[in-house]
């Protein structure tokens, strides 16, 4: 799956509220009531990522979780990243 152009990434971001482009990845921060809720979200994302065979970089700061997506084998963002972003948004509820 080839990397998307900057224009293609920007266009697709318009349908993914809260996601931003940061260099060669897309990123979104989620905030939860507490650490337990944040970890439950991360576990739901883990299930979706394993199903997709595509795994985000995850940063956890107590009740904040940052998801970063990039298709490293393609050197940038692909449709696979946007597909997983949709699954991550669904996991957030």
pLDDT digits (tens, 9 = 90+) for 1-35: 799 999 999 999 999 999 999 999 999 999 999 99
Q: Are strands 25-31 and 20-22 parallel, antiparallel or unpaired?
A: antiparallel
Q: Are 2 and 74 in contact (CB under 8 A)?
A: yes
- Prediction pTM value: 0.94
pLDDT score at 93: 86
* Domain assignments of the chain as residue spans, ordered by start: 6-92
Domain 6-92 has CATH 3.30.1360.20: yes
DSSP letter assigned to residue 73 = G
């Amino acid at each position: 799956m080839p990397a998307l152009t900057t224009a293609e990434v920007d266009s697709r971001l318009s349908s993914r509220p809260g996601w931003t482009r940061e260099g060669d990845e897309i990123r979104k921060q989620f905030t939860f009531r507490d650490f337990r809720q944040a970890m439950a979200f991360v576990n739901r994302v883990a299930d979706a990522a394993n199903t997709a065979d595509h795994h985000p970089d995850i940063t956890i700061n107590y009740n904040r979780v940052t998801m970063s997506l990039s298709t490293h084998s393609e050197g940038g963002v692909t449709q696979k990243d946007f597909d997983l972003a949709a699954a991550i948004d669904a996991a957030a509820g």
